[in-house]
Chains A and B, each alone.
Chain A
Amino acid sequence: MTPLITLKGVNKHYGDYHALRDIDLEIGEGEFFSLLGPSGCGKTTLLRTIAGFESVSNGLVTIGGKDMAGVPANLRPTNMVFQSYAIFPHLSVAENVAFGLRKRSDLDTKAKQTLVEDALDMVGLDGYGKRAAHALSGGQRQRVALARALILKPKVLLLDEPLSALDKKMREQMQVELMRLQRHVGITFILVTHDQEEALVMSDRIAVMFEGRIGQLADAETLYRRPRNRQVADFIGKMNFLDVVVRSSNDPVDLEISGLGRVTISPDQVPEPVTIGKAIVGIRPETLSLLFDGETTDLRLIDGVVDEVVYYGDMTYYDVRVQGVEKPLNIAMKNVIGRPVLDVGAATRVVWDERSLVLLN
């Protein structure tokens, strides 16, 4: 990976508020990178620092090897899609898209027109050029914002929660389109989002941020399967947490899980070093299952009682109380043919496997 953007020891203070704390980051050329985190974690501030709308209190930001200190937003090789899309209401769609081309003296009006048409074509808005910008729907505005940014062929496209204003169907459609677009133009995309699913679906790598710090930087699968700490595990997807006593932290790692008993796991399931003594393990709901009548398994079994049933149509989520486990286990079951939906209070057996555990501090 050739790093295109490097951040070294970046800090940002707003008065007493410490918005970014010692951010070190390298983002590669052609990468789809996401900044993920709850609101107020500093992800938008970080994006705006790269765009040049915020200066850094200390630290270094380089783009394409050039120090960006003192370089204003209009001179940076970045373009942004704003959360509100920021479509100029006094201009037509074509004029919006052509906004950044004014300084391109090497192009005549005809060439600019062709570029605008190509850009609109790329985002699926061919023929919309003459429309007034204020007459567009949310999804169309987003496309105009994309065309307006991409027409300038930036090295980096910054996307600030671009899908948050769209409804669910539209959002899913735009996710796929953004991925396709990124592959098509081949430039670096940096996406800011608070939606973990969005980040997992679209990104090559994700930085999960909490309180101005990067909690974990990894690809989607690592982030989901091997979260570094409880905070990340809790933020990404659903996770059951169980108390555990670590007997041995060598290979194999020897654990005593409250309610489930003694197991050994591989060091690969321990993302961060742990010490002998108390710790927690995480288990994803979809790695647990219930054993229905007539089904058999080679995996471990434990008795439980159904505490809560949440029916989603394709899935049913059960909370199952197991003796010795503090909180009911959250279990996701696919509603395949012949499988009944259990009632609250029903006795059941939980299938589990130590290979799906992840040991956390």
Chain B
Amino acid sequence: MWRRLTATEGGQGLLMVSPPLIYALALLAVPLGAILLFSFWTQDFMAVDTTFTLNNYREIAEKPIYGALLQRSLFVAGCVTIVTVIVAFPVAYFVSFHVRPERKSLWLFLITIPFWTSYLIRVFLWKVILGYNGVINTGLINLGLIEEPLTFILYNVNAVIITLAHAFAPFAILPIFVALEKIDRSLLEASQDLGESKFMTFLRVTLPLSMPGVVAAVLIVFIPTIGDYVTPELMGGAGGKLIANMIQTQFLALNNAPLGAALAIVAMLSVSAISLVFVLLNRRWLKGRS
């Protein structure tokens, strides 16, 4: 058996992928299957009733709180994605077009510096910046620009968006940077040679050619932000909680794992559906570009 595996090329390939495959199966597919299974069961006080039912999904569909939370999650993730990509693009553009080639890796290194501290600490840091007695409020009061601390910048959706956009910025900068790096610089000269200004060259050549990077950035930011739990928990206050917080509440505080599982499945399906639509739209639109 072993000899037959090592003898053929296919067998060798199988051997090589099997450790990560087993790992992926054990830690991704099995838990996912378990969640899916749980979502069709119900919680009966302390025990789990294992009769197959769609009650959880019915409850999610009927009670407006879940739909509202999911909508808010999608809205926040959408905002975060737009803000992140809009902020990331100029940074990526600057590094790609205006930094000397030998300095580029240093710049990329600097961009990844925020990752040196843990995500949690970075979120807390934003609390210090945005808080009632935080950096921004004290600064503005000392400058005499405001009399009372601003309250719309912490413990609401705004704070969640600001924090997430900052946390995910490097994930957006890198793919956009790579796409911009791949653009042949003589194309920009050709556009100018054919009569276009620098701005129109950006619109007609640079931007369309960087779209693969932008698409990657959108997906990389959008998908994880929908399920983000830490930031809304710490920064969102009462009005800024998202679907992930509800799932956590169901699992732990309310001890209703089946409903939490069903919520998780619904959230996952929504993300998949939206991402798929986005990818398909881009496929059509970006036909032949790469």
B208 at the interface (CB under 8 A from A): yes
**B192 interface neighbour in A74, A103, A132, A134, Cβ under 8 Å:** A74
Chain A residue, CB-CB nearest to B289: A90
3 pairs of A and B residues whose beta carbons are closest in the complex: A100-B194, A86-B190, A90-B289
Question: Is B191 within 8 A of A99, CB to CB?
Answer: yes
Main secondary structure on B side of the interface with A = helix
Question: Is B192 within 8 A of A73, CB to CB?
Answer: yes
Q: Given that A88-B205, A90-B209, A100-B195 are contacting pairs, would A132 and B288 also be in contact in the complex, using a CB cutoff of 8 Å?
A: yes
Q: Determine the chain B residues whose CB is within 8 A of the CB of A84 once the complex forms.
A: 184, 186
Within A29-84, the residues touching B (CB, 8 Å) are 51, 53, 72-75, 78-80, 82-84
**A72 interface neighbour in B191, B192, B289, Cβ under 8 Å:** B192
In addition to A74-B196, A148-B194, 12 A-B residue pairs with Cβ atoms within 8 Å of each other are A51-B193, A74-B194, A79-B193, A88-B191, A89-B289, A90-B209, A99-B196, A99-B204, A100-B194, A102-B204, A132-B288, A134-B288
| Chain A residues at the B interface, C-beta cutoff of 8 Å | 51, 53, 72-75, 78-80, 82-84, 86, 88-90, 99-100, 102-103, 132, 134, 148-149, 152
Q: Determine the chain B residues whose CB is within 8 A of the CB of A89 once the complex forms.
A: 187, 209, 288-290
Within B178-206, the residues touching A (CB, 8 Å) are 184, 186-187, 189-197, 200, 204-205
A56 to B192, CA, bound (A): 18
A103 to B196, CA, bound (A): 9
Question: Is B190 within 8 A of A103, CB to CB?
Answer: no
A303 to B232, CA, bound (A): 98
Question: Is B190 within 8 A of A80, CB to CB?
Answer: yes
Chain A residue, CB-CB nearest to B286: A90
A102 to B197, CA, bound (A): 12
Chain B residue, CB-CB nearest to A99: B194
Question: Is A86 within 8 A of B288, CB to CB?
Answer: no
Question: Is A74 within 8 A of B288, CB to CB?
Answer: no
Q: Determine the chain B residues whose CB is within 8 A of the CB of A88 once the complex forms.
A: 187, 190-191, 205
| Chain B residues at the A interface, C-beta cutoff of 8 Å | 184, 186-187, 189-197, 200, 204-205, 208-209, 286, 288-290
**B194 interface neighbour in A53, A79, A83, A90, Cβ under 8 Å:** A79
Q: Determine the chain A residues whose CB is within 8 A of the CB of B196 once the complex forms.
A: 74, 99-100, 102
Q: Determine the chain B residues whose CB is within 8 A of the CB of A149 once the complex forms.
A: 193-194
Question: Is A90 within 8 A of B193, CB to CB?
Answer: no
A75 to B197, CA, bound (A): 9
With both chains docked as a complex, state the minimum distance between the C-beta of B289 and any C-beta of chain A, in angstroms: 4
With both chains docked as a complex, state the minimum distance between the C-beta of A133 and any C-beta of chain B, in angstroms: 8
Chain B residue, CB-CB nearest to A158: B193
A73 to B197, CA, bound (A): 9
Question: Is A103 within 8 A of B189, CB to CB?
Answer: no
Question: Is A73 within 8 A of B193, CB to CB?
Answer: yes
A80 to B186, CA, bound (A): 11
Q: Determine the chain B residues whose CB is within 8 A of the CB of A132 once the complex forms.
A: 288
With both chains docked as a complex, state the minimum distance between the C-beta of A90 and any C-beta of chain B, in angstroms: 4
Q: Determine the chain A residues whose CB is within 8 A of the CB of B205 once the complex forms.
A: 88
Chain B residue, CB-CB nearest to A151: B194
**A73 interface neighbour in B189, B200, B286, B290, Cβ under 8 Å:** B189
With both chains docked as a complex, state the minimum distance between the C-beta of B140 and any C-beta of chain A, in angstroms: 43
Chain A residue, CB-CB nearest to B196: A74
Question: Is B197 within 8 A of A74, CB to CB?
Answer: yes
Q: Determine the chain A residues whose CB is within 8 A of the CB of B184 once the complex forms.
A: 84, 86
With both chains docked as a complex, state the minimum distance between the C-beta of B290 and any C-beta of chain A, in angstroms: 8
Question: Is B209 within 8 A of A80, CB to CB?
Answer: no
With both chains docked as a complex, state the minimum distance between the C-beta of A330 and any C-beta of chain B, in angstroms: 40
A74 to B209, CA, bound (A): 20
Q: Determine the chain A residues whose CB is within 8 A of the CB of B204 once the complex forms.
A: 99, 102
Q: Determine the chain A residues whose CB is within 8 A of the CB of B191 once the complex forms.
A: 88, 99
A75 to B194, CA, bound (A): 9
A100 to B191, CA, bound (A): 8
Q: Given that A89-B289, A90-B289, A134-B288 are contacting pairs, would A82 and B195 also be in contact in the complex, using a CB cutoff of 8 Å?
A: no
A72 to B288, CA, bound (A): 31
Question: Is B193 within 8 A of A74, CB to CB?
Answer: yes
Q: Determine the chain A residues whose CB is within 8 A of the CB of B290 once the complex forms.
A: 89
Q: Which of B190, B193, B208, B289 has the most CB of A within 10 A?
A: B193
Question: Is A86 within 8 A of B186, CB to CB?
Answer: yes
A200 to B181, CA, bound (A): 39
A83 to B189, CA, bound (A): 12
Q: Determine the chain A residues whose CB is within 8 A of the CB of B209 once the complex forms.
A: 89-90
Chain B residue, CB-CB nearest to A80: B193
Q: Determine the chain A residues whose CB is within 8 A of the CB of B193 once the complex forms.
A: 51, 53, 73-74, 78-80, 149
Chain B residue, CB-CB nearest to A83: B186
Question: Is A90 within 8 A of B189, CB to CB?
Answer: no
A76 to B222, CA, bound (A): 45
With both chains docked as a complex, state the minimum distance between the C-beta of B287 and any C-beta of chain A, in angstroms: 8
Q: Determine the chain A residues whose CB is within 8 A of the CB of B187 once the complex forms.
A: 86, 88-89
Q: Determine the chain B residues whose CB is within 8 A of the CB of A148 once the complex forms.
A: 194
With both chains docked as a complex, state the minimum distance between the C-beta of A10 and any C-beta of chain B, in angstroms: 20
With both chains docked as a complex, state the minimum distance between the C-beta of A141 and any C-beta of chain B, in angstroms: 12
A83 to B286, CA, bound (A): 27
